[in-house]
Structure 1
Amino acid sequence: MPSFTFARGNATTLLSLPLYAFGRLASVFVRRRDALWVFACGSGIGEGALALYRHARAADPALRLVWLARDRDELVRAGELGLTAVLRSGWRGFRMTLRARVIVVTHGLGDANRFGTHGAFIVQLWHGIPLKRIQLDSPATFRGALPARMLRALYRKNTARLGLVPAASEVSAVRLRSAFGLPAERVVVTGDPRDDVVLEPSGPTRALLADGIGDYGSARIILFAPTWRDGDADPVVPTAAEWEAIAAFLEANDSVLVLRPHPHGVGDYRTGAAVSSRIRMLSADVQNDINPVLSAVDVLVTDYSSIAFDFALLGRPTAFLAPDAENYAATRGLYEPYREFSGGNEVATWAGLLALLVDPVALDRLAGHAVHLAATHHEYRDGRNTERVYAELLTRLGGQA
Structure 2
Amino acid sequence: MPGFNFASGNAKKLLSLPLYALGALASLAVPRSDDRWVVGCGSGVGEGALELFLLARAKPTPPRLAWLARDDRELADARALGLDATLKSSARGLWLTLRARVLVVTHGFGDVNRYGTRGGFVVQLWHGIPLKLIQLDSPATMRTRLPGARRLRGPLRRAYRAGFDGISFMPAASPLAADRLRTAFGLPASRIAVTGDPRDDVLSRGTPAERSARARELLFARLRLPPTDSTIILFAPTWRDGEADPGIPSADDWLRIDEYLLASDSVLVLRPHPHGVGDYRGGVAASDRVVLLDSTGLADVTPVLPAVDVLITDYSSIALDYSLTGGPILFLAPDEESYSESRGFYEPYREFSGGREVRTWSALLGQLRRLEDDPAWAGEVRAHSADLATRHFTFQDGRNAERVYSEIVLRQKARK
Instruction: Give the TM bin, normalised by the shorter chain.
Output: over 0.9
SS of the counterpart of 1:151?
A: helix
2:161 to 149, 156, 160: 156
- CA distance, structure 1, for counterparts of residue 297 and residue 62 of structure 2: 33
Written as runs of structure 1 = structure 2, the 5 A alignment for 1:337-356 is 337-356=348-367
2:393 equivalent in structure 1: 378
SS of the counterpart of 2:38?
A: strand
Q: Percent identity?
A: 57
Deviation at 1:161, TM superposition (A): 1.0
2:86 equivalent in structure 1: 86
CA contact (8 A) 1:198 1:293 kept: no
Q: Which amino acid aligns with 1:7?
A: A
1:211 to 216, 221, 224: 221
- CA distance, structure 2, for counterparts of residue 16 and residue 203 of structure 1: 46
Written as runs of structure 1 = structure 2, the 5 A alignment for 1:3-42 is 3-42=3-42
1:223 equivalent in structure 2: 234
**1:56 paired to 2:67:** no
1:249 equivalent in structure 2: 260
1:301 equivalent in structure 2: 312
Q: Which amino acid aligns with 2:359?
A: A
1:185 equivalent in structure 2: 190
Written as runs of structure 1 = structure 2, the 5 A alignment for 1:66-77 is 66-77=66-77
- CA distance, structure 1, for counterparts of residue 337 and residue 378 of structure 2: 24
1:387 equivalent in structure 2: 402
1:324 equivalent in structure 2: 335
- CA distance, structure 1, for counterparts of residue 45 and residue 368 of structure 2: 33
1:398 equivalent in structure 2: 413
Deviation at 1:336, TM superposition (A): 0.5
Deviation at 1:187, TM superposition (A): 1.0
Runs of 4 or more above 3 Å deviation:
none
Provide the TM-score with structure 1 as the length reference: 0.98
1:197 equivalent in structure 2: 202
- CA distance, structure 1, for counterparts of residue 292 and residue 53 of structure 2: 29
- CA distance, structure 2, for counterparts of residue 60 and residue 227 of structure 1: 40
- CA distance, structure 2, for counterparts of residue 262 and residue 62 of structure 1: 34
- CA distance, structure 2, for counterparts of residue 319 and residue 377 of structure 1: 18
Q: Which amino acid aligns with 2:9?
A: G
Higher mean C-alpha displacement, 363-372 vs 318-327: 363-372
- CA distance, structure 2, for counterparts of residue 61 and residue 84 of structure 1: 16
Q: Which amino acid aligns with 1:384?
A: R
Deviation at 1:326, TM superposition (A): 1.4
1:103 equivalent in structure 2: 103
Q: Structure 1 stretches of 5 or more lacking a match?
A: none
- CA distance, structure 1, for counterparts of residue 38 and residue 280 of structure 2: 36
- CA distance, structure 1, for counterparts of residue 414 and residue 45 of structure 2: 27
1:124 equivalent in structure 2: 124
- CA distance, structure 2, for counterparts of residue 240 and residue 32 of structure 1: 57
Deviation at 1:148, TM superposition (A): 1.2
SS of the counterpart of 2:155?
A: helix
CA-based RMSD: 1.2
Higher mean C-alpha displacement, 4-13 vs 168-177: 4-13
Deviation at 1:71, TM superposition (A): 0.4
Higher mean C-alpha displacement, 3-12 vs 100-109: 3-12
* CA deviation string 1:370-401 (max 9, x = no partner): 0000000000011111111111111100079x
Query: Matched residue pairs, number?
Result: 400
Q: Structure 2 stretches of 5 or more lacking a match?
A: 206-210
Deviation at 1:252, TM superposition (A): 0.3
**1:367 paired to 2:382:** yes
2:303 to 292, 313, 318: 292
2:208 equivalent in structure 1: none
SS of the counterpart of 2:268?
A: strand
- CA distance, structure 1, for counterparts of residue 21 and residue 154 of structure 2: 21
Deviation at 1:230, TM superposition (A): 0.1
- CA distance, structure 2, for counterparts of residue 374 and residue 273 of structure 1: 32
- CA distance, structure 2, for counterparts of residue 7 and residue 327 of structure 1: 18
- CA distance, structure 2, for counterparts of residue 198 and residue 90 of structure 1: 35
**1:175 paired to 2:180:** yes
Q: Which amino acid aligns with 1:364?
A: G
Provide the TM-score with structure 2 as the length reference: 0.94
CA contact (8 A) 2:56 2:62 kept: no
SS of the counterpart of 1:330?
A: helix
Deviation at 1:199, TM superposition (A): 2.3
CA contact (8 A) 2:217 2:227 kept: no
Higher mean C-alpha displacement, 23-32 vs 358-367: 358-367
* CA deviation string 1:68-87 (max 9, x = no partner): 00001111111110000010
CA contact (8 A) 1:312 1:373 kept: yes
SS of the counterpart of 1:316?
A: coil
Deviation at 1:15, TM superposition (A): 1.4
Written as runs of structure 1 = structure 2, the 5 A alignment for 1:263-274 is 263-274=274-285
Higher mean C-alpha displacement, 141-150 vs 46-55: 141-150
